[in-house]
């Protein structure tokens, strides 16, 4: 087995050779010139990738690479039907002199996608595609296959969680690392299938709400948390079986950011203007989420051993996208998810238990 930077491996749960080679090509772009041919298979002296001289050559090239400026990681977008698309693209593609600019990656292509039966999708998909094309030079491509031929990684931003599994399949098959915007999927089964496919292929992925890295998530983590209550908007979309996944996933992600994983059961109470989910953690702690309709701001109360702390920031601070995009770029540069995949899947198991609790009239339901 060849040696990879950062302890990356092949069939043991790490990156596949194809994904690893993509990162090598990214690093080699720092060197430029004829050395770039090595990333496409022109190895010195006909050496194979399993030979120690090839490993030595690679190590030397990587050492040279870190001394030069990095070329941008080429990103492709799948699904231009959310406001996240122009927001993310602006931060990555705008003039580097702008205060919100984030270096290291650039959106170069996008596939529109869109869902005809969701008004929020079909009414915006063309508008946002045209915006990123005209303002930031993003090429609009006719299909996902064409997109994958032009990029190093993917932002799967389709607003419809139902289509994420099918859109993720070709990305994973092409061994492209990917970020999947909320919701990861519309069912727990689809979420787990995405994770299974990616693990088998050795493809890194992550999914997260921007609130994990916003004002609440960044300032309210404490080692002595005994319980947490969060609140936020909870509108629903009828085509998503997990109705909390459409929007209440945001305050639920804040709950997990502050509590950590380990929930064992959920009880859900539904009202006219809000739903309240009460989760019991394996260590006896209690975490609650209030999903408010039609909309609300965000906040959290953290119960500590000797004090109670509240965070109720202005909406812009709570939902600021920039910290999330910074984490995206780090992820694409390193292949290391900022949120453990297992924690993301537990968030969906939480929403699945909450859905079943609702269907059973508010009975406590164990996560599965």
Same-domain pairing of 112 and 171: yes
Q: In the listed set 13, 46, 65, which residue is the last one of a domain according to the structure?
A: 65
CA dihedral 341, 346, 352, 355 (to 10 degrees): -130
CATH code, domain carrying 175: 3.40.50.720
Q: Quick one: pLDDT band at residue 58, thresholds 50, 70, 90?
A: low
What are the C-alpha distances in Å from 137 to residues 92, 93, 107, 108, 276?
Answer: 12, 9, 9, 7, 44
pLDDT bracket for residue 80 (50, 70, 90)? very high
Please report whether residue 339 resides in a domain: no
Does residue 337 form part of some domain?
no
Average pLDDT over residues 289-318: 92
- Indicate whether 51 and 79 sit together in one domain: no
114 and 260 fall within a common domain? no
pLDDT digits (tens, 9 = 90+) for 235-254: 999 999 999 999 999 999 99
Q: Are residues 109 and 203 in the same domain?
A: yes
**Residues 213 and 324: beta-carbon distance below 8 Å:** yes
Rounded to the nearest integer, the mean pLDDT of the chain is: 87
103 and 159 share one domain: yes
Same domain, 227 and 298: yes
93 and 163 belong to one structural domain? yes
Residues 188 and 102 in one domain: yes
Q: Mean pLDDT throughout 217-224?
A: 95
* Residue 341: inside a domain: no
More confident position, 71 or 36: 71
Higher per-residue pLDDT: 314 or 172 = 172
Q: Of 182, 207, 232, which marks where a domain is finished? A: 207
* pLDDT of 350: 98
Residue 153: strand pairing partners: 75
| Dist. CA 274–CA 240, nearest whole Å | 18
Give domain status of residue 331, yes or no. Answer: no
Number of domains into which the chain is organized: 3
Burial class, 338, CB count within 10 angstroms (exposed 0-12 / middle 13-18 / buried 19+): middle
Q: Among 166, 185, 207, give the residue marking a domain's end.
A: 207
Closest CA to 179 of 256, 253, 78, 260: 78
Q: Hey, what are 116's tokens?
A: 């005809």
Q: Are residues 354 and 221 in the same domain?
A: yes
Do residues 9 and 117 both lie within one domain? no
Which pLDDT score, from 0 to 100, does residue 316 have? Answer: 72
In a domain, 114, yes or no: yes
Q: Report pLDDT for 264.
A: 98
Claim to verify: residue 51 and residue 139 sit in the same structural domain: no
> Quick check: is 290 in a domain?
yes
For the domain that residue 356 is a member of, what is the CATH number? 3.30.360.10
- Structure confidence at residue 121 (pLDDT): 95
Compute the average pLDDT of residues 97-112.
96
359 and 241 in a common domain: yes
Q: What is the pLDDT of residue 24?
A: 54
Kindly indicate the confidence band of residue 49, based on its pLDDT and cuts at 50, 70 and 90: very low
Q: What is the pLDDT of residues 190-205, one digit of tens each?
A: 999 999 999 999 999 9
- The domain in which residue 261 lies consists of 211-321+349-366
User: Cβ of 300: how many Cβ atoms within 10 Å?
Assistant: 27
pTM more than 0.85: no
- Per-residue model confidence (pLDDT) at position 14: 45
Interval 251-266 mean pLDDT:
98
Residue 129 lies in a domain: yes
Q: Is residue 338 part of a domain?
A: no
Q: Tell me, what's the pLDDT at 198?
A: 98
d(CA 336, CA 213): 16
């Amino acid at each position: 087995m060849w040696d990879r930077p950062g302890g990356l491996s092949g069939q043991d749960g790490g990156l596949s050779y194809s994904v690893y080679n993509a990162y090598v090509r990214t690093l080699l772009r720092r060197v430029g010139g004829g050395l770039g041919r090595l990333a496409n298979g022109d190895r010195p002296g006909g050496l194979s990738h399993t030979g120690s001289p090839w490993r030595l050559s690679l190590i030397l090239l990587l050492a040279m690479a870190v001394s030069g400026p990095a070329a941008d990681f080429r990103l492709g977008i799948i699904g231009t039907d959310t406001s996240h698309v122009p927001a993310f693209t602006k931060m990555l593609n705008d003039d580097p002199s702008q205060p919100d600019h984030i270096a290291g990656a650039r959106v170069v292509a996008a596939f529109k996608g869109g869902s005809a039966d969701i008004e929020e999708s079909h009414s915006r998909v063309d508008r946002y595609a045209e915006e990123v094309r005209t303002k930031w030079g993003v090429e609009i491509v006719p299909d996902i296959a064409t997109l994958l031929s032009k990029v190093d990684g993917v932002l799967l931003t389709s607003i419809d969680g139902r289509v994420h599994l099918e859109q993720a399949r070709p990305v994973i098959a092409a061994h492209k690392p990917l970020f999947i915007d909320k919701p990861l999927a519309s069912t727990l089964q689809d979420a787990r299938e995405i994770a299974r496919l990616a693990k088998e292929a050795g493809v890194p992925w992550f999914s997260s709400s921007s609130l994990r890295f916003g004002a609440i998530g960044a300032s309210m983590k404490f080692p002595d948390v005994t319980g947490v209550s969060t609140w936020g908007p909870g509108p629903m979309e009828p085509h998503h079986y997990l109705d909390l996944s459409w929007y209440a996933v945001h305050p639920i992600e804040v709950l997990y950011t502050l509590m950590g994983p380990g929930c064992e059961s959920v009880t859900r109470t539904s009202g006219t203007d809000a739903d309240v989910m009460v989760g019991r953690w394996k260590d006896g702690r209690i975490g609650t989420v209030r999903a408010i309709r039609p909309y609300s701001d965000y906040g959290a109360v953290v119960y500590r051993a000797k004090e109670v702390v509240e965070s109720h920031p202005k909406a812009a601070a709570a939902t600021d996208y920039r910290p999330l995009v910074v984490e995206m770029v780090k992820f694409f540069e390193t292949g290391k998810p900022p949120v453990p995949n297992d924690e993301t899947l537990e968030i969906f198991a939480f929403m699945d238990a909450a859905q079943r609790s609702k269907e059973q009239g508010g009975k406590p339901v164990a996560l599965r």
